[in-house]
Amino acid sequence: MYSLKPHDKVIGDLKCRFNDGGSEMAAAKEKILMTDDGVVPTKYWHDLDDGRVQCDLCPRLCKLHEGQRGLCFVRARVDNQIVLTSYGRSSGYCIDPIEKKPLNHFLPGTPVLSFGTAGCNLACKYCQNWDISKSRELDTLMDRATPEAIAQVAEELGCRSVAYTYNDPVIFHEYAIDVAKACQQRGIKSVAVTAGYVCDEPRAEFYQHMDAANVDLKGFNEEFYWKVTGGHLQQVLDTIEYIHNETDVWMELTTLVIPGYNDSEKELNEMTRWVVEKLGPDVPMHFTAFHPDYKMMDVSSTPMATLKRAREIAMKNGVRYAYTGNVHDNEGESTYCHSCGMRLIERDWYVLGEWNLDANGCCTKCGTWCAGVFESGHGHWGSKRQPVRLSDYVTV
């Protein structure tokens, strides 16, 4: 747990519990936003008999004394309730290709406005966004924007979707949902890039507002999850099954393949068989290359051969759409018809080439349907990465 620092500006007038989610909570949220402190009440928490307050957003179930923060850093106990301290504040905005999330079967070739906040509810030793996700300074959150401002800018810049990414949107649950609502009013889709470490009730609320998700299935054994990420595998599997079985959210899975940690043939076999058994053959899987970072600088980068082997294992076990990532592999990046083998979507990094899907998302050679969210053609955003300062477009 982390105690609030003296310079942290926190609103003191939050003595109502706001568990009813009614107009009083909305009015308080509006008042708080006007202070630019980013502090809003939350509803997933309860009092404990020992005087602490337990946060019920994610399986960490942080139990806090007054003034303490949870492991995620952005949720804290203030005036005997759990508040979010990063509402309306971001570590930055950037327009990316949707394939970078990675999502290969959701509006291919289109631009997505991406943003994150600070903090994370996991503790991955290899985190490749550690400067954001492990940040313990709210000064990291330099860009401020209301949900409506984000939706407005996304529309003005021609983005088909907004992605909650860089760190996990689970921890800025309230902000992400409000942005998603504002985007929906403008016909803009919402994409969650997440590790899936969340409790049942907030998970159900969150995915009511998402259109697509890439879930980071970090490995397939409990020892790896606990020792390397500080989390537990089963809760992630529960999230994956929930999204697939209980929602209309388009979902793809990503595994960062780390040499010597989660790259054994046994584990890759067990993982991919579970996916086909529980989710069916049509959920795309991305096997991406690890590069030394954060607390795992002594581990070698993932060889191309390892990624190709992971892809082959997945396809052998019935996964129809398996991809390699973080490496240049034209074959492993492209989409193929699982019936006739026709290349449906050619990818060169994030640039799309050959396109052999008809207006209904079916193979132009044999007519077999390709699972995904497709339109009559594809976008042409390419591989561009365009940083965006929202204040250049709206007054935030």
| 361 burial level (CB within 10 Å; 0-12, 13-18, 19+) | middle
What's the mean pLDDT in 25-29?
39
For residue 128, the model assigns a pLDDT of 74
In the chain, the percentage of residues whose pLDDT exceeds 90 is: 77
What's the mean pLDDT in 105-126?
93
Q: Is the pLDDT of residue 344 over 90?
A: yes
In the chain, the percentage of residues whose pLDDT exceeds 70 is: 87
For residue 129, the model assigns a pLDDT of 65
Per CATH, the number for 89-328 is 3.20.20.70
SS (H, E, C) the chain: CEECCCCCCCCCCCCCCCCCCCHHHHHHHHHHHCCCCCCEECCCEEECCCCCEEECCCCCCCEECCCEECCCCCEEEECCEEEECCCCEECEEEEEEHHHCCCCCECCCCEEEEEECCCCCCCCCCCCCHHHHCCCCHHHCCEECCHHHHHHHHHHCCCCEEEECCCCHHHHHHHHHHHHHHHHHCCCEEEEEECCCCCHHHHHHHHCCCCEEEEECCCCCHHHHHHHHCCCHHHHHHHHHHHHHHCCCEEEEEEEECCCCCCCHHHHHHHHHHHHHHHCCCCCEEEEECCCCCCCCCCCCCCHHHHHHHHHHHHHCCCCCEEEECCCCHHHHCEECCCCCCEEEEEECCEEEEECECCCCEECCCCCECCCECCCCCCCCCCCCEEECHHHCCCC
Dist CA 174 CA 396 (whole Å): 18
**Which stretch of 197-206, 354-363, 386-395 has the lowest confidence by average pLDDT?**
386-395
pTM here?
Answer: 0.89
Dist CA 259 CA 304 (whole Å): 11
Residue of 164, 198, 194 lying closest to 181 (CA atoms)? 164
Neighbours of 30 (CB within 10 A): 10
Residues linked to residue 386 through DSSP beta bridges, in sequence order: 95
What's the mean pLDDT in 76-101?
94
Q: With bands split at pLDDT 50, 70 and 90, how would you rate the model's confidence at 29?
A: very low
Which part of the chain is CATH 3.20.20.70? 89-328
Dist CA 97 CA 108 (whole Å): 8
Q: Is the pLDDT of residue 33 over 60?
A: no
Dist CA 307 CA 261 (whole Å): 14
Q: With bands split at pLDDT 50, 70 and 90, how would you rate the model's confidence at 246?
A: very high
Chain segment 9-19, per-residue pLDDT in tens: 333 333 333 33
Higher pLDDT, 206 or 139: 206
Chain segment 152-161, per-residue pLDDT in tens: 999 999 999 9
| In the block, residue with structure tokens 């929202």 | 390
> Average pLDDT, whole number, for the chain?
88
For residue 160, the model assigns a pLDDT of 97
For residue 393, the model assigns a pLDDT of 81
Higher pLDDT, 131 or 337: 337
Q: Are 345 and 301 in contact, with CB atoms under 8 Å apart?
A: no
Per-residue exposure over 318-339, b if at least 16 CB sit within 10 Å of its own CB, e if not: ebbbbbbbbbebeebbbbbbbe
Q: With bands split at pLDDT 50, 70 and 90, how would you rate the model's confidence at 21?
A: very low
Neighbours of 142 (CB within 10 A): 11
What's the mean pLDDT in 61-68?
96
| In the block, residue with structure tokens 């020892």 | 223
For residue 203, the model assigns a pLDDT of 98
Q: Is the pLDDT of residue 226 over 60?
A: yes
Q: Are 193 and 101 in contact, with CB atoms under 8 Å apart?
A: yes
Tokens, residue 207: 């995915």
Q: Is the pLDDT of residue 169 over 50?
A: yes
Tokens, residue 71: 């492991």
Tokens, residue 366: 């044999």
Higher pLDDT, 134 or 57: 57
What's the mean pLDDT in 236-244?
98
What's the mean pLDDT in 236-252?
98
Radius of gyration (C-alpha) of the chain in whole angstroms: 21
For residue 190, the model assigns a pLDDT of 98
Q: Are 359 and 339 in contact, with CB atoms under 8 Å apart?
A: no
Residue of 303, 305, 288 lying closest to 128 (CA atoms)? 288
Q: With bands split at pLDDT 50, 70 and 90, how would you rate the model's confidence at 180?
A: very high
Estimate to the nearest angstrom the gap between the alpha carbon of 175 and the chain centroid: 14
| 297 burial level (CB within 10 Å; 0-12, 13-18, 19+) | exposed
Higher pLDDT, 377 or 240: 240
Dist CA 283 CA 378 (whole Å): 20
Chain segment 260-297, per-residue pLDDT in tens: 999 999 999 999 999 999 999 999 999 999 988 777 78
